[in-house]
Structure formats: C-alpha cells, structure tokens
Amino acid sequence: MYEEYFGLKKKPFSIVPDPSYFYMSDVHKEALAHLLYGVKSDGGFVLLTGEVGTGKTTVCRRLLELVPEDTDVAFILNPKVTAEELLATICDEFGIKYPDGTSSVKVFVSLINDYLLDVHLRGRWAVLIIEEAQNLKPEVLEQVRLLTNLETNRHKLLQMIMLGQPELREMLLQPQLRQLSQRITARYHLGPLSKEELSAYVDYRLSVAGLIRGQLFPPAVLKKLYRLSGGVPRLINVICDRALLGAYVQGKEHVDSKTLTTAAREVLGREAARVQKRRMYQGAAGLVVLLCVSLGALYYAHYHTHQSISPATFDGQAAPAGKTAARTPVAKVRTASVKPATLEPPPGHTGPMTQEMAYQALFRQWNIEYNRQDRRTTICEQAKLQGLGCLKGRGSVTMLQQMNRPAVLKLIDNKGGEYYATLTELKEKTATFVVGDETRLVGAKQIAECWSGDYLLLWRAPKEYREELRPGYRGPMVPWLEKQLASIYRDKAPAVTGQAYNGDIVKQVKKFQLGTGMVPDGIVGPKTIIRLSAAAGSRDPVLYVSEGSN
C-alpha cells in the first residue's frame, strides 16, 4: 500500500524470514559461523538459543542456502511430538521408507542407522535441524541424545543443530538431561541488536526494498525505536511497517516520533501497557526504598545522639555522684547515599569526564595506576608500560561473558549523549558498574538498553607472545598453548611434537573457539588467548568466577 508512495519496490519490514533481508550483525555472523561449523564438524552438536524474534529462524534459513551440495538435511519445524513421531518425521525428511503403521522405536532407529551408514559410504553428510526445541519433552530429548550414538569406529554419522528459546538452556540443566547437555560441542545465544546495529539494520532493509532517496526514519526516531523494540528484530519490523503505513496515511515524507509511538502502541497493545505499568511500579518502589532508608538513617542519628550523652560510664555503671561521665564524641552521621539501579550518567559529568573515570576504575581492577593528567600517553600506552595489553572492539553481552574480563563500555543516554562506565561484575541477572565515582548494581538487561556495543578491556599476554598464531607457526607459544588446553580439558589435549602449531592441536583450538562463541578459524590472537586464560583459571581479574574454579 505504501510502497509506491515512498518509492519502494516491496515491503521492507515483512516478518516472513526472507534470506535476502538477512542483515549480518556481528552476533548473527557468529551464530551463522557456529551453524556452518556444526554442519561440517565431526560429531558436531550445536545449540543456538535466543529470545522470540531475535532472528534464529532467519539465520537458519540463511544456513540452508549455504549448506554444501554433499549434505542431506532433515528439518523439523514442529517438535511437539512423541519419540516415535519424531523418528518418523526424521525418516520422512531424509526420504527413508518404512512400513505403514510402524510405531516401533527400534525399527525407526535401525532404518535411520542404515541410511546414515549409506550416506557416510557415499562421502556425504547428514544434518538434523530441530527448530523450537524448547517444546521437546524430556523423553523425546533423550531419544535425540540416543541418535548421537549412531557412529562408525571413527566418525559420528549425524550432525545435529537445535534452535530454541532461552528456556531450552534451563531444560538442559536438569539432571536427567545432563548426558545430552554434555554432548553439545558448541552453544551460542543470539541477543538483540545494539543501538548502532538497529540503525544499520533499518537502513539495510530499506535499501534492499529499493529506497534510493530520503531518510524515512530520522536519527531521533531510531533512538526511540530502540527504546520501544529493545533491539529485537521482529518487533523492529512490525513497528516500522505500521509506522510507514501511518506516515503514508497522514501524507508525511518520513516517520516522526508521534507516528512511531502510535504505531508501537497499536502493534504492542497490552504488552506495552504492561511494561509501562511495571516500570511505574518499579519507580514507586525505588522511592519507597529511598524514603525508608532515609528515615532509618535519621532514626539512627537521633538514637545514637541520645545514647552518647547518657550519664553512664563505658561499662554501663552509673557515674559517681557529683561527677559527670566523660562524653563520647558524637560522630556525624551521614545519610546513606542510595543510588538508583540505573545506568544513567551522574549529573554534572561530561562524556570525557566519565571516560577518564572509567579508565581509572578499570586500572584499579588490575591494581595498577592510571594517570588522568597524562595527556600525551593513551590508555593503551599506559597499560603497555605496566605489562598489559589493550583490546578495543564491538561485541555483545554474550561476548563479554565469554571474555570474562572487566571492561569499559560506551553507553548512550536517553538524549543520545555518550558516556562511559566500567563493568566489574556480571552475573546471570545482575551487573555491577562503576559510573563516575559511584558503584551501581543494575539488572543485566539494562546493558543492552544503554550499550552502544563498543568496549575496551585490558589483558595479560603470555611472555612468549609476539604475534597471532596461525596453523604452521613454530615457536615458544606452542607449549604455552598446550598447557592451557591440558588444564581446560583435564589433560586430554593432544601432545605437541616439537613446537609446531598444526594437526590435532589446531583441531583442539577450533573446538575451544567454537565452544566459547568464536569463529573456529584456529587463529590464536588476543581474543582466543583471553578466553584460554580465563578458562584455565588465571589469577587475572574476572567478571564472574566459574563453577569449579579455585
């Protein structure tokens, strides 16, 4: 309806997972790399999770376009089935014939095994992809695990990819499913887009749809779109589609803030109202807490002031007649400073001020000194002078968890201004930041709402490290690498012959990279070294302590 009006060839924000609209954000690139590796790895079992609308299905559709020709794929869309029905569906997808009325698990598994052996003998690969895997019942998940037992003496016969919502990860933590969980060789969680990625995402889809002139979503509108959608691609699509329709009906050349808000209210409906009400209650609760703490502090001051002038000695005995007990000096009681659980910048602090204070807080985490007065030396140069490396980049919250190092993050306030804070602790539901000179405990979800995606962290390079390792490298870093892998995999890492980085040790590094959310290219640079050191239990500062760490 509005396509011709805005000069578009087709609708830019359809929620149908069209691969031509697939925008490759950093997190989507990593997710796709994991799936592609799972297709070709020996015995690969890849788990991809993400909230509703973050792009799991679109990534999967893109994967199907890139699957090599020597690969047979079984794609399960509706896993709300019994174990027998799942096996029958797998047979249907692979084109395996079975007698009518078959309901025996043993018969199905035997037929699938024969088929997979034939595929293997013909030099082909077989991949099973299960979407919405959080809907699988525990007994069906157990049957999925048993399928991974189909193998030759040297190779697994079936590569498996499961896609699901976050509750799938919780299901796999159940004791009865621990064997299945242990079979997973790579896990990746797909998060929402950052503010900058959202802008690029909208521009990309409009470009694919044929837009060649004008800016349909001005910068201020895109900032509001991020707040309304939370960076979730599906919500971005439905809000933008309705907003373009609204702008068309009103005869406007672009979407304005009011039109966007109306569109969001129409498509989100009660959910938006519920979120707004929850925020209102949270704000009221914060005021109540602040009031209670303030009253408590006043009571504390009043009570202790009267106690300090009581005519009694220290041991509680009455003072002799005619003498006055020595008064204990009354300490000034400072009312507790209650900081709201928010990442908003402290009043009166400019962006550059918060940046310098964030760098100082980061250096404190490493017990080294940052000289804020030194304008001639950059932060990375100051770190290098004290034996540390400096890594800058763009990433996701998942990546921060995997790197497990304190980091300075560039944040964006409600007005679009930039400021900086230091992330010092990251748990499943909470995060601790140093913002200016304040330490704040906030909900972990707030990171995605404020973070631009840019980070800076410090790391300690091994003394043998000079440059990134690529297959074929020879040098003193290889024994260090072997030691880290042996520590992580409990001495199951391959032995190194001489000091050559090749063969089995490269495979082990790729396995580690895949399991920690990296593209498994076998190149050992700063990001891989940081993850290896963290996983091996180095004494460097971390965001969280892993289970089993000393």
Task: Write out the DSSP string of 414-462.
Answer: TTS-EEEEEEEEE-SSEEEEEETTEEEEEETHHHHHHEEEEEEEEE---
Is residue 315's pLDDT more than 50? no
Residue-averaged pLDDT of the chain: 80
Q: How far apart are alpha carbons 313 and 324 in whole angstroms?
A: 9
Task: Retrieve residue 17's tokens.
Answer: 């997972």
Contact 128, 90 (CB under 8 A): yes
What pLDDT score was predicted for residue 425? 94
CATH number for region 477-535: 1.10.101
pLDDT: is 375 or 286 the higher one? 375
Q: How far is CA 54 from CA 81, 90, 127, in A?
A: 25, 27, 23
Predicted local confidence at residue 91, as pLDDT: 93
For a pLDDT cut of 90, what percent of the chain falls above it?
28
Q: Ranked by mean pLDDT, which of 11-20, 93-102, 151-160, 279-288 comes out on top?
A: 93-102
What does the pLDDT look like over 46-90, one tens digit per residue?
888 888 888 888 888 888 888 888 889 998 887 788 889 999 999
Inter-helix orientation angle 219-229/233-249, to 10° = 130
Q: Tokens representing 203? A: 């521009």
Fold of 3-16+193-268: Helicase, Ruva Protein; domain 3 (1.10.8)
Q: Model's pTM, two decimal places? A: 0.56
Q: Residues of CATH 3.90.70.10 domain(s) within the chain? A: 351-459
DSSP letter assigned to residue 197 = H
What is the DSSP-derived secondary structure letter of residue 153? S
Check pLDDT > 70 for residue 270.
no
Q: Report how many helices (DSSP H) and strands (DSSP E) the chain contains, helices first.
A: 20, 11
Residue-wise pLDDT tens digits, 443-479: 888 887 788 888 999 999 998 898 889 888 888 899 9
Confidence class of residue 496 from pLDDT cuts 50, 70 and 90?
low
Question: Phi first, then psi: what are they for 71, rounded to 5°?
Answer: -120, 130
- Terminal Cα distance for the chain, rounded: 62
**Does residue 495 register a pLDDT over 60?**
no
Euclidean distance between CA atoms 189 and 370, whole angstroms: 35
Question: pLDDT band at residue 276, thresholds of 50, 70 and 90?
Answer: very low
Mean pLDDT of 232-244: 93
Q: How confident is the model over 211-217, as a mean pLDDT?
A: 82
Q: Which CATH number fits domain 26-190: 2.60.260.20, 3.40.50.300, 2.60.40.10, 3.40.50.1970?
A: 3.40.50.300
Residue that wins the pLDDT comparison between 282 and 396: 396
Q: In the prediction, which pLDDT does 339 show?
A: 46
What local confidence, expressed as pLDDT, does residue 429 receive? 84
d(CA 182, CA 174): 12
Starting at the edge strand found earlier in the chain, the sheet holding 430-435 runs 389-394, 451-459, 407-412, 418-426, 430-435, 438-443
Considering the chain, tell me which residue range(s) the CATH 1.10.8.60 domain(s) occupy.
3-16+193-268
pLDDT band at 352 (very low <50, low <70, confident <90, very high): confident
As a whole number, mean pLDDT of residues 163-190 equals 84
Highest mean pLDDT among 263-272, 390-399, 402-411: 402-411
Q: Where is pLDDT greater, at 180 or 111?
A: 111
The CATH 3.40.50.300 portion of the chain extends over 26-190
pLDDT digits 0-9 by tens, 332-341: 333 334 344 6
Which residue's structure tokens are 């599906």? 234
CA distance 466 to 450: 36
Length of the chain: 550
Task: Identify the pLDDT of residue 43.
Answer: 61
The pLDDT-based confidence of 42 (bands split at 50, 70, 90) is low
**CATH 1.10.101 intervals, the chain:** 477-535
At 395, the pLDDT band (50, 70, 90 cuts) reads confident
CA nearest to 540, candidates 487, 462, 435, 454:
462
Is pLDDT above 50 for 293? no
| Domain 351-459 coded CATH 3.90.70.10 | yes
